Structure 1
């Protein structure tokens, strides 16, 4: 099991950053390798992703969601085993620190080698950088889900 921790500061208010992050079906726009995310229920998402040339599908359950503060998840079925949280920290009225923390269990030899070489960590860092570029270029979120789990 690998533990990944990455953070980034975005130049938008905390509510804007949080609102965009709750738009799971938009993740393919900024997450490398994510082909599709379907929001099946308020707490269940289905993912289709490509990693190491292999297509993978899995379901993830939102285990905790607090507006403007935290979204936590765990995979519940499929080929990926992962659990984590993203937290949102208000720096001031127009800046937010986003912290991404998750545990990732590599599947098979290719995943284990890629994990040891830092692929998952680099991908998480790149995804956060692309999220920053995306939300800052827009300045507003595509939508919002403000419910609590």
Structure 2
């Protein structure tokens, strides 16, 4: 498994960032490739994702450690992915959003298409960084 960690500092209070992160229906506005997202019973989330090989549904179990402001997720089928979002207050109006993604490069390539090896790792890193920047723009515009 490979692990990727990226962060972005957003100009909103921790509670606002936390609430925005939990509105799955807004994910298509800041997560590239997500065309639809919804919460389902039993702390499950379903994402409709457009990939290089077409469209697919991805289901994940989501668990919160609310007191620590950590949202953990794990896909329940293919592709096998896991990760977390950790929010840390910088001050009363700024929050650091840390994303962590654990993935098997071969599994991701098979599920979503794309390059192999080092090029794929760079593509995933750019994608996660871009999604975090889009989250920043989205949450800061919602003032």
TM category, shorter: 0.7 to 0.9
Q: What is residue 92 of structure 1 aligned with on the other side? A: 91
TM-score by length of 2: 0.87
TM-score by length of 1: 0.83
| Cα-Cα RMSD | 2.0
Return the offset for 1:82. Answer: 0.6
Structure 1: tracts of 5 or more residues without a match: 140-149
Q: In 1, Cα distance between the equivalents of 2:11 and 2:69?
A: 17
Q: Please state if 1:133 is matched with 2:132.
A: no
Q: In 1, Cα distance between the equivalents of 2:31 and 2:111?
A: 23
Higher mean displacement: 125-134 or 44-53: 44-53
Higher relative contact order (CA 8 A, sep 6+): 1
Structure 2: tracts of 5 or more residues without a match: none
Q: Please state if 1:101 is matched with 2:100.
A: yes
Q: What is residue 5 of structure 1 aligned with on the other side? A: 5
Q: In 2, Cα distance between the equivalents of 1:70 and 1:5?
A: 14
Q: In 2, Cα distance between the equivalents of 1:51 and 1:44?
A: 21
Count of aligned pairs between the two proteins: 138
